[in-house]
Amino acid sequence: MMYTQFIDGALTKSSGDESWINYNPANNIPLGEVCQSNEQDIEAAVDSSEKAFHIWRTKTGAERGRVLLKAADILRSRLEKIALLETHDVGKPISESLAVDITSAADALEYFGGMAAGIHGEFFDLKNAFGYTRREPLGICAGIGAWNYPIQVAAWKAAPALACGNSMIFKPSELTPATALELANAFMEAGAPPGLFNVVQGDGRVGAMLVDHPRIAKISLTGSVPTGKKILTAAASQLKKVTLELGGKSPLIIFEDADIHNAVSATLLANFYTQGEVCSNGTRVFVHHQIFDSFLMKLKERTEKIRLGDPTDPDTQMGALISKAHMEKVIRFIDSGKSSGATLLTGGYIPETDFKGRNITSGNFMTPAIFTNCNDSMDICKEEIFGPVLSILKFDTEEEVIERANNTSFGLSAGVFTNDIKRGHRVIHQLQAGTCWINNYNITPIELPFGGYKQSGQGRENSLAAIQHYTQLKSVYVELGNVESPY
Ligand code: NAD
């Protein structure tokens, strides 16, 4: 099979001849060949997006909203097919892609589709005059995606962009080329003009072409901090607008009065969902010394029960890491943790069989790992691993844990577990992170803004906050009297 581009309403082959093989992370069997878009393809995508933008911007918000809502229905009606594509591409359990990935993409289309008719400016009463503002679209926006939540990332960018009247060219990660094409198809079938949502394929070079293109008005990246820095630097030469959703090394703080069962549940969610390949994961788990031993015992017990194996099996709870190279990187972190003196309490090895005894040595599987005896300066506690590896850190006081939690250049997320309502808010208000949870973790409803502080990003996705990142504000002054002029 060939993963194509989607340009001007149709699946198209690249005009170049560079391509690579996309592998299934669960067995490293080729899923198909992906064609790398070249400059000619980008030019065709930009021409087509520009044409679509001029049609789309004249539609009313209600008309645009109807297309988005219909696209959401189409995604929901193809839930099983798209979820399976995502599972094959990413290696995540089918139970997750059925419950979260496609649903979350559809939620975004519904939220922004429903809101499209309500995007408006303001009116200002002035002396012998009035003023008003208009929220106008930016033009062609480029979305560049990471590989862990491919269709969700695409929809979180496309939904607000299109609702605001822009068109979008989306480049999925080179490791997950499949489901952005499904989203493009859904938009077309829902009545979008051809070119409203184009998909190009390729690695960072294609992303860079989009960033550099003078007719592209805005870039929205979901990816790593180093890529975010490169994009911001390149975009600066044209003062292009940029939204960055980047990585993290987030703290999850468990106080002594927390509901321990819930805290353990959240710690598992915060570290092992999608094999730990989640940007907002709470990988630095700070546990109060009074409950340290009992928390650790329960966490280890439940971690060891996680059903790791064939991602297409509905009973599987943890699948395969995205690639052999990424698995090796995660294993290097395990080695680094051990050599720096931390204790590997459980997991962190490559298993031969899955929870049903099937041989899984051809896939990129690694058992969920817990490190104890950690300190804040170890690499495993400072760097984003992006795999199923959590570090437990002991703390004594509230002041101490806040300071240690904030001692990082990242600032994507943070969580606090406590039954003291005052302490919950007090602590969260002092944590330097854009997306926070009290007594839960990694819940990202479309209604709440999502994004990072410090080096974890800029701008916000989801919620009303996304609208300002996909529109520009025009102020209009209307005179009702005479022009008063000194000349
Ligand atoms: P990555 O930075 O390697 O790649 C992200 C995307 O950027 C890919 O599509 C890649 O092809 C493209 N790219 C690479 N170099 C580029 C360049 N110079 N110019 C333009 N585009 C370029 O990240 P990844 O490995 O795909 O994803 C994992 C990272 O993404 C982790 O750090 C994770 O935390 C982060 N992430 C963040 C969020 C969030 O919402 N904050 C969500 C998911 C993943």
Q: Which amino acids are annotated catalytic?
A: 157, 245, 279, 461
Cβ of residue 211 lying under 6 Å from some atom of ligand 1: yes
User: Which residues, including other chains, have CB under 8 Å from residue 232's CB and lie 6 or more apart?
Assistant: 242, 244
The predicted structure's pLDDT at residue 459: 98
Cβ(145)–Cβ(222) under 8 Å? yes
Find, among 31, 245, 232, the residue nearest to 146 by Cα. Answer: 245
- List residues bridging with 417 in a β-sheet: 254
* Segments in the chain below pLDDT 50: none
> From the CA of 358, how far away is ligand 1's center (Å)?
33
Q: How far is CA 269 from each of CA 117, 266, 283, 431, 443, rounded to the nearest angstrom? A: 36, 5, 11, 20, 9
Kindly report whether the global pTM for this prediction surpasses the value 0.75.
Answer: yes
- Residue to mutate (ligand 1; options 36, 233, 279; most atoms within 8 A of CB): 279
Rounded Cα distance, 100 and 85, in Å: 14
- Residue to mutate (ligand 1; options 36, 212, 227, 333; most atoms within 8 A of CB): 227
The predicted structure's pLDDT at residue 1: 85
Cβ of residue 198 lying under 6 Å from some atom of ligand 1: no
User: Which residues, including other chains, have CB under 8 Å from residue 307's CB and lie 6 or more apart?
Assistant: 315, 316, 317, 318, 354, 355
